[in-house]
């Protein structure tokens, strides 16, 4: 037992002390926060600030309604022919020319948009949307609806989703926020299992190629060495995770106090205190620096039991990591170098990738469906599927069952891997096949 502790210690400290670990740990939250902040900023700004001026050249007599200038596009009707307008485009104060030829309202064809620059997708979509709206308005008017009635039709609908808990209490929830957290948790889980699983494999290969393995095995049992490595690296993962939480909190607090005025800070801080969700993912805290629509998300986050989600995340990270890293250790023991790992990596990667892809598509769309249920039960996919389902709420019995299956699953893979590992680490110079690994598995002692 003492020996396992020594091995865990070495595996842990040799990694934590590495420069790359320190850099990764401190930089990753900053990077992620930064990237999201930039994306958020530009998307937000893009929605608000894009301003294109479009000159409308209309040869159309059927369409009597005029395009109205709105937030994004300034429409100016000009009295020039298309040719004149095209010639003038360099000097004139419009960027695009919208040409409306003669068409019937039922089949508007031949509309063209000219510009010195290629019109982007969003402009294209907006202009066509505006025209569609225009035609609809005109048709409605022709069928006898007045402008004032039309104005009354315009309503903004904002659905606030509430979930009725087992106790009967209504919980504030937001489909948007849940999906956001589900995605982040799924991506993080996938990254963590991959990253640390592969570290285990590398560690095993390193011991094998540097030939220290024989010295080690004359002092400790192969199983102790394997478990020591797996547990040591798991602790590295947890350390990194915890540091990220702390750092993210620190960064977001600092950022919030820098960029947002004081009243907002109070509000956000309150929301944070309630939710702590920001801890689960660095991206949220980046978002927290921008109040406004994101503030709404934060409010609804308060309805989620974030503490529970974080705990479940940690459990499934450890379970999923143990499940997969044992397989990675077995692969590492069977090969002489990293280049040989490919044929064995495929069958291990595939279920993980499948779980990842399905979790982020099928499960987020229908978190209570059959597919979601089975994905979150099978230990190959459950770590990702379950954390993706968590924000939407999972019945306790399902959670307990999934945890139990995962524990049984990793005990199984650790056992199988241990049997392959003890033989594999002493095998050199032979190209290993699955058949051979199966034989190793069956060797007695």
Q: Which residues of the chain form contacts with other proteins (CB under 8 A)?
A: 3, 6-7, 10, 14, 206-207, 210-220, 426, 439, 445
Tokens of 213: 């393995």
Shortest Cβ distance from residue 328 to other proteins (Å)?
Answer: 19
Shortest Cβ distance from residue 209 to other proteins (Å)?
Answer: 8
The number of residues making up the chain comes to 445
Closer of 11 and 95 to other proteins (Cβ): 11
Which run of H or E residues covers position 357? helix 342-358
Tokens of 135: 């035609």
Shortest Cβ distance from residue 334 to other proteins (Å)?
Answer: 15
Residue 279 and residue 308 in contact, taking contact as beta carbons nearer than 8 Å: no
Closer of 30 and 220 to other proteins (Cβ): 220
What is the secondary structure of 365-387 as a DSSP string? H-TTSHHHHHHTTSTTTHHHHHH
Closer of 3 and 48 to other proteins (Cβ): 3
Closer of 94 and 421 to other proteins (Cβ): 421
Closer of 232 and 379 to other proteins (Cβ): 232
Tokens of 445: 């002692």
Shortest Cβ distance from residue 10 to other proteins (Å)?
Answer: 6
The bridge status of strand 73-77 relative to strand 52-58 is: parallel
Shortest Cβ distance from residue 20 to other proteins (Å)?
Answer: 11
Closer of 13 and 368 to other proteins (Cβ): 13
Shortest Cβ distance from residue 230 to other proteins (Å)?
Answer: 17
Tokens of 409: 């699953």
Tokens of 391: 């924000």
| Residue 334: Cβ-neighbour burial (10 angstroms; 0-12, 13-18, 19+) | buried
C-alpha 229/C-alpha 203 separation (Å) is: 8
Question: Phi and psi for 366 in degrees, rounded to 5?
Answer: -140, 75
Residue 249 backbone class (left: φ over 0; alpha: ψ -120 to 50; beta: rest): alpha
Closer of 44 and 223 to other proteins (Cβ): 223
Give Cα separations from 50 to 119, 373, 443 (angstroms).
13, 44, 69
Cα–Cα nearest to 384, from 437, 312, 436: 312
Closer of 232 and 409 to other proteins (Cβ): 232
């Amino acid at each position: 037992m003492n020996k396992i502790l020594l091995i865990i210690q070495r595996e842990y400290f040799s990694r934590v002390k590495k420069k790359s670990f320190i850099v990764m740990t401190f930089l990753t939250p900053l990077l992620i926060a930064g990237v999201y902040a930039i994306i958020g900023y530009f998307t937000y700004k893009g929605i608000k600030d894009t301003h294109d001026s479009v000159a409308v050249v209309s040869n159309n007599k059927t369409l009597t309604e005029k395009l109205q200038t709105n937030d994004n596009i300034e429409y100016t009707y000009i009295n020039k022919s298309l040719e004149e307008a095209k010639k003038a485009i360099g000097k004139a104060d419009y960027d695009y020319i919208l040409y409306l030829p003669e068409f019937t309202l039922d089949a508007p064809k031949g509309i063209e948009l000219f510009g010195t620059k290629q019109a982007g997708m969003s402009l294209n979509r907006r202009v066509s949307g505006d025209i569609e709206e225009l035609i609809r308005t005109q048709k409605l008017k022709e069928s006898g609806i007045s402008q004032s009635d039309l104005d009354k039709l315009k309503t903004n609908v904002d659905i606030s989703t509430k979930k009725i808990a087992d106790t009967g209490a209504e919980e504030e929830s937001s489909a948007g926020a849940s999906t956001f957290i589900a995605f982040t948790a799924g991506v993080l889980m996938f990254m963590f299992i991959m990253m640390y699983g592969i570290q285990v494999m590398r560690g095993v290969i390193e011991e094998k190629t540097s030939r220290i393995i024989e010295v080690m095995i004359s002092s400790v049992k192969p199983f102790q060495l394997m478990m020591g490595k797996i547990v040591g690296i798991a602790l590295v993962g947890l350390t990194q995770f915890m540091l990220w939480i702390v750092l993210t909190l620190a960064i977001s607090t600092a950022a919030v106090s820098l960029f947002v005025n004081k009243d907002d800070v109070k509000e956000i801080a309150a929301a944070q205190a309630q939710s702590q969700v920001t801890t689960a993912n660095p991206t949220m805290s980046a978002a927290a620096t921008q109040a406004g629509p994101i503030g709404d998300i934060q409010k609804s986050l308060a309805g989620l039991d974030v503490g529970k989600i974080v705990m479940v995340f940690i459990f499934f990270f450890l379970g999923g990591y143990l499940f997969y890293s044992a397989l990675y250790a077995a692969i590492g023991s069977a090969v002489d170098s990293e280049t040989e790992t490919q044929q064995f990596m495929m069958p291990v990667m595939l279920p993980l990738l499948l779980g990842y892809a399905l979790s982020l598509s099928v499960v987020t769309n229908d978190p209570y469906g059959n597919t979601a249920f089975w994905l979150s039960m099978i230990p190959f996919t459950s770590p990702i599927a379950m954390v993706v389902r968590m924000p939407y709420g999972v019945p306790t019995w399902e959670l307990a069952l999934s945890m139990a299956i995962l524990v049984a699953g990793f005990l199984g893979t650790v056992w199988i891997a241990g049997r392959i590992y003890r033989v594999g680490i002493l095998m050199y110079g032979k190209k290993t096949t699955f058949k051979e690994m199966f034989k190793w598995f069956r060797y007695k002692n």
